[in-house]
A and B are shown apart, each in its own frame.
Chain A
């Protein structure tokens, strides 16, 4: 089934840490729905993200996205804002777990870090992303990329909608 999503790109560098995504000042928040208002408040040049992001927009990032803290706030604040997926060259392991556990798609896109540095994909570009095949097209300038969707157990957790629904569907026997 083709599943092409269209949205604008918000482009970020390598090593975007969780304090830049969701600053430690707001850690006491426990309601995921209230978290989007703080997204990227501390990212220089992206202070407008929380106000201007539209449902359907994508996060486009280089290597090691989400390094640092284990705060799941940094996943909720994007998911609840309606960002359908994160497109990153690589994702830090704790962030990756938190995304998978929420059934939140992360596509690992080879060459994305260099493409960002070279200006081949920029803020506001219109993207067409097929989550199921990993095909990514920048309709603004024609560049194409390929993202690998998660495999193995992570795919099963994703298709169940996250870790909790996965465990509930498997009852007690998770081995």
Chain B
């Protein structure tokens, strides 16, 4: 019987043949933590080892500060300090402090992620690294602390759903819109315990940014991991960053032609239209034209799902076509995913145009995925965001959020009401 990608990844990590449904112990390539949950991990590790423990491999542990970067509360500042001190004590060099950006993106840009890697992190969107064929998963502090003891952890070998995506996106429509459609189709629990392989010509053509968008939202269907076999320009980029081993490792996780899938779904995006997740759940999905005209108070473009350069560039194009001015009635905030993304925006002269248009352009951070960050919404406000969750009260009690693509978000910022971007750019 042929093997799926996740089975090949787990076989390398478990050093044995694996079968779906089986529990296996996998070697961990990276065990990471953020300033969210990170101090919980280090305190727990110190407690269970009575302050005498050494981590299994300091070269394979990374800390990324992105929950609050820079921190604006004493509690988070203190947690960051606890992490820095633990890293120093344990000889952990990979500390990406408040000046770098969103953890997974930073690890990727620094060439730390290879196809087939098994990666843990205290971020439920770790699995966006499936965009380069890594099995990365969000876990709690116990999983992280346990993995630091001896570099392994337990997993159930999941079944895999195959999702084939074909066709070219029409004008004004992007990967985010396809993803929103998919979340609506499958629902919040639609992929519980499952892995996904994304294939098809639309995926083959997809940029790294688009692949990240797609894989990040597998979490919003409770999936374990969405995987894309690295190919073309994405594999070239990865090999440039992570070294030629990336090509070998990509070859090793190619699914067998006779791999068995629990289900195969097919989508053609060539007639897709802009989509929205309406309040208060990612799977409450409607076409943007059905909610067009809804008044909004704030628009936010960023996050691990849609904060890469291509996302910001797509929003920029809408702003340009809209006359380089956002509605004075809407607070518009753009947050790049990483410092590298921010620099690229600066080099292209985009930041100046954003600022002149009346937009707040911030440093890289996770920002508006929590109510404890700048831009939290007051009760009664309506937000639009390119983040991945619009749960009840997530960014402020009594507020409501629509999740949109970067193009739709910017079209909405320009007009001050929810706007189909095709009205501006097509």
Contact = CB atoms under 8 A, between A and B. Distances in A.
A99 B193 CA distance: 15
Interface string B98-114: 00000000000000000
B389 A72 contact: no
Interface string A142-163: 0000000000111001000011
Contacts of B25: 174-175
A39 interface: no
A97 B126 CA distance: 16
A94 B140 contact: yes
Contact of B37 (A71, A92, A172): A71
Nearest to A66: B222
B313 interface: no
Interface string B6-47: 000000001100000001010000000000110110010000
| Residues of A in contact with B, size category | 35 or more
A67 B139 contact: no
A64 B222 contact: yes
A132 interface: no
A93 B193 CA distance: 6
A71 B67 CA distance: 13
A75 B40 CA distance: 13
Nearest to A96: B193
B392 interface: yes
B75 interface: yes
Interface stretch (A3-11, A16-24, A51-59, A119-127): A16-24
A121 to B, nearest CB: 20
B204 to A, nearest CB: 29
Given A30-B79, A153-B23, A42 B142 contact: no
B397 A42 contact: yes
A64 B220 CA distance: 11
Contacts of A98: 139-140, 142-143
A23 B142 contact: no
Nearest to A172: B150
Interface residues of B, number: 51
A57 B25 CA distance: 35
Contact of B393 (A23, A63, A64, A172): A23
B189 interface: yes
A98 B41 CA distance: 13
Interface in B92-143: 122-124, 137-143
Contacts of A153: 23, 154
Contacts of B141: 72
Interface of A: 14-15, 17, 19-20, 23-25, 27-30, 42-44, 63-64, 67-72, 75, 90, 92-94, 97-98, 101-102, 152-154, 157, 162-164, 167-168, 172, 174-175
Given A15-B189, A175-B25, 19 more contacts: A15-B283, A28-B79, A30-B39, A30-B40, A42-B397, A67-B188, A70-B138, A90-B192, A92-B189, A92-B222, A97-B140, A98-B142, A157-B154, A163-B142, A164-B145, A164-B146, A167-B149, A175-B15, A175-B152
6 contacts: A15-B189, A28-B75, A29-B75, A157-B154, A163-B143, A172-B150
Interface of B: 14-15, 23, 25, 36-37, 39-40, 43, 48, 67, 73, 75-76, 79, 82, 122-124, 137-143, 145-146, 149-150, 152, 154, 188-189, 192-193, 219, 222, 224, 281, 283, 369-372, 389, 391-394, 397
5 closest A-B pairs (Cβ-Cβ)?
A: A72-B140, A64-B189, A70-B138, A28-B75, A153-B23
